[in-house]
Amino acid sequence: MVERQIEARGIHNPGVIAAMQEIPRHLFIPPPYDQNAYDDNPLPIGGGQTISQPYIVAVMTDLLHPERSDNVLEIGAGSGYQAAILSRLVRRLTTIERIPAVAILARNNLKLLGIGNVEVIEGDGTQGYPQNAPYNGIIITAATPEIPQPLIDQLADGGRLVAPVGERDVQELVTLEKHGDRMIPEYHGEVRFVPLIGKHGWEN
Ligand code: SAM
């Protein structure tokens, strides 16, 4: 998976490559879909939700520019796979999941691998998690019509945010870097994610 889908498509960040080699994706996917865990696809995880395509996980992780000392926030824990990858690259990760059963799935999957630097919070991630802010990085793994203001407020100066921004059916992958009260955007192409549902996202 890593050679054919990630390195072959231009991701060479050694930390990202090592984390993706170490974390077994099949442990994050319920049967029968776990048989296809190393295919180049998103897959169902229950509750109408998906684990993202491995290549997109690699791209978003790379775009976040994770550092060992970072405190990071993820919105959309899902299976916990993206959180597990980030856990290898940063000091502390808080991940928020809206659907209670999916939050339990993420927590159990992370526990199974003995990952101790990730906290799974059940709730509306569009409001962020001010208790653990400020964050050096924020990654939104669901499609948002715009960047929720609470997340911009909780991002540290110099911090980066990665998110799929746009319509419900198709979005642009965007990075924003915070410099004082300015957010500097960069655009990275078209993606398709399930919707971010909440106070500062889609209504339902
Ligand atoms: N990062 C996940 C992984 O590694 O498996 C994949 C995320 S999945 C594409 C999107 C997730 O975002 C779903 O589990 C969905 O329930 C969750 N979600 C949607 N709106 C949310 C919100 N407002 N707060 C937190 N999670 C939300």
pTM: 0.97
Distance 41 CA to ligand 1 centre (A): 16
Residue 145 has pLDDT above 90, yes or no: yes
Tell me, yes or no, whether 72 lies in a domain: yes
Residue 204 has pLDDT above 90, yes or no: no
Structural domain count of the chain: 1
Given the CA of residue 28, which atom of ligand 1 is nearest to it?
5
Q: For ligand 1, atom 15, name the residue with the nearest CA.
A: 76
Residue 119 has pLDDT above 90, yes or no: yes
- CATH number for the domain that contains residue 156: 3.40.50.150
Residue 112 has pLDDT above 90, yes or no: yes
Residue 43 has pLDDT above 90, yes or no: yes
Tell me, yes or no, whether 204 lies in a domain: no
Distance 12 CA to ligand 1 centre (A): 26
Ligand 1 pocket (Cβ < 6 Å) reads: 49-52, 75-76, 78-79, 81-82, 96-99, 102, 124-126, 141-142, 193-194, 196-198, 201
- Ligand 1: residue of 88, 98, 105 to mutate (most ligand atoms within 8 A of CB) is 98
Residue 165: predicted pLDDT:
98
Kindly state the average pLDDT of the residues 135-157. Answer: 98
Tell me, yes or no, whether 187 lies in a domain: yes
pLDDT digits (tens, 9 = 90+) for 124-143: 999 999 999 999 999 999 99
Residue 189: predicted pLDDT:
96
Given the CA of residue 196, which atom of ligand 1 is nearest to it?
20
Range name among 44-48, 55-59, 170-174, 184-188 with the lowest pLDDT average? 44-48
Kindly state the average pLDDT of the residues 71-92. Answer: 98
Write the CA distances from 179 to 103, 185, 193, integer angstroms.
Answer: 33, 11, 28
Tell me, yes or no, whether 180 lies in a domain: yes
Kindly state the average pLDDT of the residues 102-115. Answer: 97
- 52 carries an active-site annotation: yes
Given the CA of residue 82, which atom of ligand 1 is nearest to it?
4
Kindly state the average pLDDT of the residues 156-173. Answer: 97
Give the number of other CB atoms < 10 A from CB of residue 197. 18
Tell me, yes or no, whether 60 lies in a domain: yes
Kindly state the average pLDDT of the residues 169-179. Answer: 97
* Residue-range definition of the domain harbouring residue 165: 2-191
Tell me, yes or no, whether 128 lies in a domain: yes
Tell me, yes or no, whether 181 lies in a domain: yes
pLDDT band of 108, cuts 50, 70, 90: very high
Tell me, yes or no, whether 200 lies in a domain: no
